[in-house]
Amino acid sequence: MIVFSASLAIGQDDDYTAGHKGWLVDLDEAYEQSKETGKPILANFTGSDWCGWCKRLSAAVFVKPEFQKWAKENVILLELDFPKRTSVPDEIKAQNSKLQRAFKVRGFPTIWVFELDKEKGTDEMKINALGKTGYKSSVDEFIGDIERMLAKAG
């Protein structure tokens, strides 16, 4: 169990969106959707505009209709981007950096699947990390990895 302070108070820039349709960029929004649906969060730690393996994962998995269909039914998608040439609002940068430290992410792409719980009356969040993965060359391989994590947790 990972505990971290969630006092980010993101007043998100409406122009900033994830690189892929259907992905969120705000942890609070992902948390709310996760609580409403009972689905875990799948977070993609990426360097979208410079990381070759991130671009390959995107092309091999994230843009494919079969992944998008599976994800819609099974997880809440959260993009945590660390670009070099693309502008990211300061609040999102701070959130992404906090999560990178909390999950000890050292390379990209790193994909974590987790559940969140907020401590009542505090700004602390408890993360129940279900597992992590990285680059996979196909939708089936990627989904298989995630489903094994979910089965162990469940």
The string of pLDDT tens digits covering residues 10-24 is: 555 568 999 899 999
The reported pLDDT for the residue numbered 27 is 95
What is the domain partition of the chain in residue ranges?
19-134
The reported pLDDT for the residue numbered 9 is 45
Phi, psi of 116 (to 5 degrees): -120, 150
What rounded mean pLDDT belongs to the chain? 91
pLDDT at 138 over 60: yes
The reported pLDDT for the residue numbered 14 is 62
What is the CA 8 to chain-centroid distance, rounded? 16
Average pLDDT over residues 76-89: 96
Average pLDDT over residues 56-77: 98
Phi, psi of 59 (to 5 degrees): -70, -35
Helices within 27-138 (DSSP H only): 27-37, 52-57, 65-74, 90-103
Kindly report the pTM of this predicted structure: 0.91
Does residue 25 contact residue 79 with C-beta atoms inside 8 Å? Answer: yes
pLDDT at 8 over 60: no
Structure tokens at 20: 């892929």
For residue 95, which of 107, 108, 78 has the smallest C-alpha distance?
Answer: 78
The reported pLDDT for the residue numbered 1 is 59
Would residue 52 be called left, alpha or beta, if left means φ above 0 and alpha means ψ between -120 and 50 degrees?
alpha
The reported pLDDT for the residue numbered 2 is 66
**CATH architecture, domain 19-134:** 3-Layer(aba) Sandwich (3.40)
Q: DSSP secondary-structure letter at 94?
A: H
pLDDT at 114 over 70: yes
